[in-house]
Structure 1
Amino acid sequence: MPSPAILIENLTKSYGTLKAVNSLNLEVKEGEVFGFLGPNGAGKTTTILSMLNLIIPDSGRVEILGMDVSKEPLKIKERIGYLPENATVYGELTAWKNLEFFANFYRMSNAEKEKRITDLLKMVGLWEVRYRKAKTFSKGMKQRLLIAQTFINDPELLILDEPTSGLDPEGAHLVKRLIREAQSEGRTVFFSSHILSEVEELSDRVGIIVRGNLKAVGTVGEIKRQFMELEGYEIKVETKEPLPAIEHPEITRIELVEPNRAIIFARTDIREELSRALSEKGLTILGLDIEEPSLEDVFLKTVYGRDEE
């Protein structure tokens, strides 16, 4: 069985009395796109910096691509691409020279560097402005250049902290396409984002960290199901005829929308029992569906313990 791309065991890091990360355990599989969610100050950046050996945790360990980050940091850096939040480009250098500067850190021939830089500038839509100084670029163009830089060493693992920050819709679409393509090429992608629809769209699995604690991890569907098991189910029922009085010990509330439509709030999924009871009363069932929460609903409830106001 292959080693996970990222393995975090009992990671803990404090800053004075603030515990930024608290006994965090997390595994990211090879070839998956993993979305890392949390409010500001939740511990996302501390976790990422620990993964990169840029800060030393108080306890715990991290393995990247089967290597201990505290023992083989340089070997790991050769095989990963990292895009920090709020990263900057070298404004006095052209787009080409920015990428050439970082390519020089890796073992590439001049021909390999030239081809790699050419391909990357075309990939992010900056080929036509390759000889312009980066200080003349818009924020979105700078972000595209930084994304190209992340790919310069043909990494097996991409770690992206808010990769669509500052991008217009076209740029954000490009980044999402690049993430999908990276996965199709066999790369692993670990990214954080505040754009929940983006995380839901791209991620195979998601982790939600709150005040240094991992509160939920799994596919979006699994996390939603866990949420409904804790918070209850909203069941939309519609019949051809007017609805009769409905009783069940798991029902906590019923909202009648129209004489033949209602929303039933229940502690468990009672659709099978409802279907049987309504059919026995001779009603024609037109709809009996779970109203699934959005990832935003789950996130807000997990983080703040309440629904959005």
Structure 2
Amino acid sequence: MIHIENLSKKFNDFLAVDNVTLDVKPGQILALLGQNGAGKTTTIRMLTGLLRPTQGRAEVAGYDVEKESTQVRASVGVLTEHHGLYLRMTAVEYLDFFGKVYRLSDDARMKRINHLLEYFGLVEASHRRIGEYSKGMKQKLALARSLIHEPPALLLDEPTSAMDPESARLVRDEIASLRSSQRAIVICTHNLAEAEALADQIAIIYRGRILIRGKLAELKERVLGPAEYEVSFSKKWDNKSLKPPAGVEIVARGSRSIRFRSEQPQKNNPLLLKILSMKEAPVLTLQEVPRSLEQVYLKTMSDAGGALLQ
């Protein structure tokens, strides 16, 4: 649905986006992560046809962003950090205006407006001025506007920026519900917990270049190394003489726990538990040590910064 190949954008002597290649298939949500100025928004603007690439190419719903920019704009829904709501309008007037911009027929326009207002829980407030809305309501209306023409691609730039936790959760829930086999979604965000909750694919961009991309589980393995597991004990237990089975490497020992890596956890973890049982160890739990997207992001950025200093 969204295909980017060797895409670059240069402003005078500044290279804002440097040879970016990405694919987002229908049904997928890609989180594009990076610092301010890393190239996220510039990439989004090229995908909407607002900026012409310096080199490379991109397609949205099969349309070339340079050669078929009109068709591209008709195929994307965009939610920016500053959504530009018309505060004196009502929600109905606002959505009707954008329905006309996208040249929807009167019948199709009213059907979409009624559906979106109901979908986002805005029916009761639909005839109030938008300036009276809460932040969460405004953001949901902006999201409704981006969907008025049923686009196959959604580009969301900081969709929950500066929102209170409750409103942010509501908007996240709505974004998750928009996942469809007919739609691809790209989210640019600084909220790593949000990206972890929503995205199938992660891409980290630094100084215009994609450092790493893939599924979160793959990135954890690649950046942080093999998964670690921990056995906890219900009381202090001397495990200094414990010899693990082949394929298990103990990385930390404590009086109440053992942390280890396992090459084949489905095979080796039960063997370790069997050894512990034979030694009458007071095992309480065995679980994988949680690892977050934040750890992946910080390690990736640290490595990138270190490479520049060398």
Cα distance 1:29–1:131, how it changes in 2: closer, same or farther (>3 A)?
Answer: same
Alignment pair present for 1:89 and 2:112: no
1:236 paired residue number: 230
2:147 paired residue number: 151
Does the 8 Å CA contact 1:143/1:166 hold for their aligned counterparts? no
2:177 paired residue number: 181
Helix, strand or coil at the partner of 2:38: coil
What is the CA-CA distance between 1:269 and the residue it aligns to? 4.4
% identical equivalent positions = 35
Does the 8 Å CA contact 1:239/1:283 hold for their aligned counterparts? no
What is the CA-CA distance between 1:155 and the residue it aligns to? 1.3
Mean CA deviation greater in 129-138 or 195-204: 129-138
What is the CA-CA distance between 1:23 and the residue it aligns to? 0.9
Cα distance 1:225–1:114, how it changes in 2: closer, same or farther (>3 A)?
Answer: same
Cα distance 1:284–1:6, how it changes in 2: closer, same or farther (>3 A)?
Answer: farther
Distance 1:290 1:275 in 2: 13
Alignment pair present for 1:32 and 2:13: no
What is the CA-CA distance between 1:152 and the residue it aligns to? 0.6
- After superposition, where does 1:223-262 map in structure 2 within 5 Å? 223-229=219-225, 234-238=228-232, 242-245=238-241, 254-258=251-255, 261-262=257-258
Distance 1:65 1:214 in 2: 22
- Equivalent AA in structure 1 for residue 143 of structure 2: I
- Equivalent AA in structure 2 for residue 256 of structure 1: R
2:135 paired residue number: 139
Helix, strand or coil at the partner of 2:27: coil
Deviations 1:156-203 (A, max 9, x none): 111111112244444333323332332246322111222222211111
Deviations 1:116-161 (A, max 9, x none): 1122122222222222222333333222221110111011111111
Q: How many residues were matched structurally? A: 297
Helix, strand or coil at the partner of 1:86: coil
Deviations 1:263-285 (A, max 9, x none): 35x7x848778987897796457
Does the 8 Å CA contact 1:8/1:62 hold for their aligned counterparts? yes
1:221 paired residue number: 217
- Equivalent AA in structure 1 for residue 39 of structure 2: G
Cα distance 1:121–1:177, how it changes in 2: closer, same or farther (>3 A)?
Answer: same
- After superposition, where does 1:82-121 map in structure 2 within 5 Å? 82-121=78-117
Cα distance 1:75–1:274, how it changes in 2: closer, same or farther (>3 A)?
Answer: closer
Normalised to the residue count of structure 2, the TM-score between the two structures is: 0.83
Distance 1:109 1:273 in 2: 63
Helix, strand or coil at the partner of 1:70: coil
2:204 paired residue number: 208
Distance 2:135 2:273 in 1: 58
1:303 paired residue number: 301
Does the 8 Å CA contact 2:89/2:129 hold for their aligned counterparts? yes
2:71 paired residue number: 75
Distance 2:91 2:46 in 1: 30
Distance 2:275 2:120 in 1: 61
Does the 8 Å CA contact 1:37/1:208 hold for their aligned counterparts? yes
Does the 8 Å CA contact 1:182/1:188 hold for their aligned counterparts? no
Cα distance 1:280–1:190, how it changes in 2: closer, same or farther (>3 A)?
Answer: closer
Cα distance 1:143–1:284, how it changes in 2: closer, same or farther (>3 A)?
Answer: same
Cα distance 1:196–1:284, how it changes in 2: closer, same or farther (>3 A)?
Answer: farther
Helix, strand or coil at the partner of 2:210: strand
Distance 2:2 2:66 in 1: 14
Unaligned runs of 5+ in 1: none
Normalised to the residue count of structure 1, the TM-score between the two structures is: 0.83
Distance 1:183 1:42 in 2: 26
Superposed CA RMSD in Å reads: 3.1
